[in-house]
Structure 1
């Protein structure tokens, strides 16, 4: 009697990723951005490690951290100033996290696809792709202003799956922020918590409800380690 070989594990047909804090260590670019703003006000630089936990929260949170006298009330003109300064620093110091490039190659070699769903404005995220050599490889890019809703709403994830004609059951979303995992759960999509990313000291990722906790991108290099 012949013995049937066990099926080889494969990557999800569509792996979707957050950008800042998941694929890309953009904290150095963000620190350069707020320090441009601080310099115009005659202030010294903010240490990178002080800003790093706020990066995944976006321009408003980073501006609030850089200028605590605002009391968390960041006016629209300060957000605009941040985005304009960030565009000048875009891709100058940041880089993919160790193991990310090998992870994306492994997904591609398996015949699967990957894409990016971020809350970063689309025009900024799109400028990064050629800098990283990803413009021909990324199957879809959804920014925070691409659609009527942004994460933690599930629409960006369900839209990405629909555009690429992939069932949500065949997708996995990887992100480092609680909003990422909430969006995946609301979309009916499995999720991976990227523990290597950015988060504040009081945050407890084990309480977010993700399907898998990954310490580094290397943990995801093997298809059999992804949630099923």
Structure 2
């Protein structure tokens, strides 16, 4: 029997899946708070909101603001965040080895994130992944973002593969929903950022992983036989 192989294409969420970017977000929030004479943010609280985007984080840092007030602070948050980008974040333990194992097996991998594309490209450049990451899709690259399947479908198209040839890996229910709608298999990872009460067991992913080291084994990845949309 031939040895099991990894999927030919592995696609990943970024924040909370490949990268522990919460420290950059905390530094950003604390700069904004300090500028207003306010005490630092509760880092553990903010980590829960990292996968929810800039508006959610601004809302968590400044809970007394109404929607208009939160929206008004988003540009400042993004500007400060870009200055802090990569200064404090690190890959989750085991991610580097997992990507190397995929590459050694001849698989390609890419990133589909809801982070703005220009910020995602800054992250990829800072990690020296420009030549390794086969496709990069940001939250503003197309007209829709996750949980809509469009970014996943377009990534597969860029790579010249069918969606059923891909496995999408993420730490948020939106990742699993998008994968299912795109006709891709999915892996829900539990080391990322979740709000209290979020239960990955209910997301109906094709597989789950509790640590990156688990994904070093090809058997941990779901089979990528073509599957129908909304299967």
Shorter-chain TM-score bucket reads: over 0.9
Structure 2 CA distance for aligned equivalents of residues 129 and 165 of structure 1: 22
How many residue pairs end up in the alignment? 223
64-73 or 148-157, which moves further after superposition? 64-73
Is structure 2 residue 123 aligned with structure 1 residue 102? no
Q: Decide whether aligned partners of structure 1 residues 17 and 75 sit closer, same or farther in structure 2, where only a CA change above 3 A counts.
A: same
TM-score, with structure 1 as normaliser = 0.95
Could you tell me how far 1:98 is from its partner in structure 2? 0.2
CA contact (8 A) 1:13 1:166 kept: no
**Alpha-carbon separation, structure 2, partners of 1:77 and 1:53:** 22
How far apart, CA to CA, are the structure 1 residues paired with 2:208 and 2:102? 19
Distance 1:41 1:106 in 2: 46
Task: Tell me, yes or no, if the aligned pair for 1:63 and 1:74 is still in contact at 8 Å.
Answer: no
Aligned to 2:33: 38
> Given the two structures, how large is their TM-score scaled by the length of structure 2?
0.94
Aligned to 1:146: 141
Give the whole-Å Cα distance in 1 for the aligned partners of 2:190 and 2:70: 31
Aligned to 1:3: none
- How far 1:225 sits from its partner (Å)? 1.3
Superposed, which structure 2 residues align to 1:112-123 within 5 Å? 112-123=107-118
Asked if 1:218 is matched to 2:225, the reply is no
Question: Please, which runs of 5 or more residues in structure 2 have no aligned partner?
Answer: 224-231
Q: Distance in 2 between matches of 1:27 and 1:72?
A: 23
Say if 2:62 is the partner of 1:50.
Answer: no
1:164 to 159, 173, 180: 159
Give how far 1:135 is off: 1.1
Q: Which runs of 5+ in 1 are unaligned?
A: 1-5
C-alpha contact 2:6 2:105 (8 A) present in aligned 1:
yes
Deviation at 1:73, TM superposition (A): 5.5
Q: 1:60–1:74: 8 Å Cα contact kept in structure 2? A: no
1:11 has 2:6 as partner: yes
* Residue 75 of structure 1: how far off its partner (Å): 3.7
Instruction: Flag as ranges the 4+ runs of structure 1 deviating above 6 A.
Output: none
Residue 204 of structure 1 and its aligned partner are, at CA, apart by 1.1
